[in-house]
Homo-oligomer: A and B are copies of this chain.
Amino acid sequence: MADPRFFKNDGPFTIAELADAVGGELSDGCDPQLKIQDVAPLDEAGEGDISFLDNRKYVPAFEASKASACIVMSEFQDRAPDGMALILTDTPYRAYAKIAHAMYPGTRPDATVHPSASVDPSATLAENVSIGANAVVEADASLAYGVLVGPGAILGRGVTVGEGTQIGAGASLSHCDVGANCELHPGVRIGTRGFGFDMSAEGHLDVPQLGRVIVGNQVEIGANSTIDRGAGPDTVIGDGCKIDNLVQIGHNVRMGNGCVVVAQAGVAGSATLEDFVVLAAQSGVAGHITVAPGTQLAARSGLMRASEPGAKLAGNPAISAKEYFRQMAVLAKLTKDRNS
């Protein structure tokens, strides 16, 4: 079971309740009143635990599992150990996620303003807002229902934060509007000035950055990631984007919905990511280009020009991933030929 210092288990649930919650079906002969207390991986699960099978590779672990119950696609139900209860669904991992949320809904701090926090009298706090110790909310900021501001977080003048959004410890926001149900992790920096200046031997001169950052709904932004405000246009992060830790998003970038940016990747100024673009870890996108919907850029790759929808790219400058790995193989072969 998850460490109770950090996670509170809300079980047990009956398996019928869980199947219902995820829109799955119970297998034949399964006792709907079976009590499930916890989630666990196939090889660690025991009595009272529910596990899931999402990958053909783990069928042997499924066959050997001691879990009381498991979430599987119906094609695998014949492989279940005797007596294991099954929830049948086409999307076992998603169902697992929902059940784990039910088991561990998370604890919220009280809806209070910690006495050590500094909240400007002109700020607007809706009901059920929680402000952590030593947090700062500046003038005219506006926090919607249920916003949670972590300890030491700093919301700058005029910033707005939508319903249910959580701001991590020590994060700082300025010049931005953040949507509802977002999760911004500790140390996130939003709204800092874009890296815009006139270069000159007599001294670089800053160009005022007069835009904002507009963050959609249900966006996650990882620890210590940075998103600069626009130069004049806004920097825009679409609904449902998932951004990992230590990611850089430059000024004027526009991200569509559902984009995924993995750790330490970066997007240069004025680039556009259309919907569902995936940038793997440590990759980079050059400025002023448009990345087509569904493009996937491999880890450690650098995209320097516009892509086709659904393209899978790798290398630096990035080309088709298939072609990139072919080139690496040819180079290895040529080198071998030379040395033999």
Contacts and interface: CB of A to CB of B under 8 A. Distances in A.
B192 A172 contact: no
Given A91-B198, A169-B156, A226-B224, A327 B317 contact: no
Copies of this chain present in the complex amount to 3
A134 interface: yes
Contacts of A266: 246, 263-264, 281-282
Contacts of A208: 97, 100-101, 103-104, 106
Given A98-B205, A189-B223, A197-B242, A152 B172 contact: yes
Contacts of A172: 150-152, 168-170, 186-187
Interface in A199-236: 199-201, 203-208, 210-212, 218, 220, 222-224, 226, 228, 232-233
Interface string A95-111: 01110110110100000
Chain A: interface size category: 35 or more
A256 interface: no
A210 B327 contact: no
Contacts of A129: none
A211 B2 contact: yes
B299 A212 contact: no
Contact of A187 (B116, B189, B207): B189
Interface stretch (A24-32, A62-70, A76-84, A331-339): A331-339
A192 B218 contact: no
A30 B239 CA distance: 47
Contact of A200 (B94, B152, B189, B244): B94
A254 interface: no
A151 B175 contact: no
Contact of A326 (B7, B94, B339): B339
B186 A169 contact: no
B211 A93 contact: no
A6 B212 contact: yes
Given A39-B210, A93-B207, 17 more contacts: A3-B175, A41-B233, A97-B208, A134-B134, A136-B169, A138-B151, A170-B170, A172-B187, A186-B189, A195-B244, A195-B245, A195-B262, A203-B240, A206-B220, A248-B264, A299-B302, A330-B338
